[in-house]
Amino acid sequence: MSSRAAREPIHAGFSILTSFAHGPMVGGEREKKTQTKTGGAKGRSIFFFRTAGILLLVGVFSPAIFSSGRAAQRKVTEPMAKAGAADEHEIKVLPIFFIPSDGKAPSPEQEQKLMKHVKWARQRYHELLGGTDTFEMAKDQVVVYKSKKPMSFYRAAPEGSTPVCLSEMLEYFKTNRNDAPYVFLILVMNSADKFPNGGGRPINGGHDNGGGVILMATYAMDVMHNFQSTLQHELGHSFGLLHPEAYGYDMETSPSIMSYNKAHHTHDFQPSPTPGIFIPEDLRALAMNKKEFPHFSYTPVGKISPKTPSLPPMDIPGQPAWSAR
Ligand SMILES: [Zn+2]
């Protein structure tokens, strides 16, 4: 039976809530609830509003930050050296450990693990783009950021705290929604539970309109086993990719990494025997992102949806509304 009918009306334009798209693993269980035969669009909306509680008014603090890096996992990155001049990538992925004031700093093992995962995802994108390009990394080490606000602040913040975390990052890096040269890949230090659930999106929506943001919990990396396939999926959202249901395809069986197809799940550092791929609609959308994939172009051959949907710009505290330049 079709469960798609029960989902949110994608073609009516993604709402900001439904489009802060969640991953097959980290957000998978939650999204699953809204997608099964008995579920409905209502469930998903409820989730998004669930996190919107009382906003604690917290003063402006100057967050402390320090970089901490480990030796690069060279083995994984070598193949991409041929991909082209790195400096042509205007927007690069920046992995960050985000420590709430009452949270713990990441261990060296966690830092190594995150870098290894990002480099693996980078290699996978390279393979899936036919060796022509992949996303670039902003640094060869993880940024470790210490916030002055406690976890309770983030738990109460709207939209799973993505807008407030992004706002802090923009302020810290002295940039703004238009000029940010990063996809902020934020792992919130939380070993207790899945908060914040995995999600990713382009800051300004659309395609090639600037940077992106991904929010996940360290719990997802350390406790759940399919972090890698989820990371690939959330990176896709941060580059402007939508779920395949936006094109009328089934979310459970689509070959796209942007689906919830469980056959794509990685297990720790083991690839899936049947990994997800980019479907033509994904490739078409990635090719539009010249700031992130300057060397990749795509001419569709064969069947492709005529729809070219995109995600809307985010509302970000402390930032003006986005307007195209
Ligand atoms: Zn998603």
In this predicted model, what pLDDT tens digit does every residue of 163-214 receive, in sequence order?
999 999 999 999 999 999 999 999 999 999 999 998 999 999 999 999 999 9
23 Cα: distance to centroid of ligand 1 (angstroms): 4
Please, which pLDDT band fits residue 325 given cuts at 50, 70 and 90? low
Return the pLDDT at 54.
32
70 Cα: distance to centroid of ligand 1 (angstroms): 30
Dihedral angle over CA of 32, 235, 133, 95, nearest 10: -150
214 Cα: distance to centroid of ligand 1 (angstroms): 11
220 Cα: distance to centroid of ligand 1 (angstroms): 15
Q: Are 230 and 31 in contact (CB under 8 A)?
A: no
257 Cα: distance to centroid of ligand 1 (angstroms): 9
Q: How does pLDDT run across 42-86, given as a tens digit for each residue?
A: 333 333 333 333 333 333 333 333 333 333 333 444 444 444 444
Choose the weakest-confidence range: 9-18, 84-93, 194-203, 283-292: 9-18
**Is the pLDDT confidence value at 14 over 90?**
no
**Average pLDDT value over all residues in the chain:** 81
58 Cα: distance to centroid of ligand 1 (angstroms): 31
- In this prediction the pTM is 0.77
Amino acid present at 221 = M
Fold category of 4-41+60-287 in CATH: Collagenase (Catalytic Domain) (3.40.390)
Q: What DSSP assignment string belongs to 246-312?
A: GGT--TTT-SBTTS--GGG--BTTBPPSS--B--HHHHHHHHT-TTT-TT------S---S----PP
296 Cα: distance to centroid of ligand 1 (angstroms): 23
51 Cα: distance to centroid of ligand 1 (angstroms): 18
Q: What are phi and psi of 282, to 5 degrees?
A: -65, -45
22 Cα: distance to centroid of ligand 1 (angstroms): 4
What gap in Å lies between CA 317 and CA 210, rounded to an integer?
Answer: 17
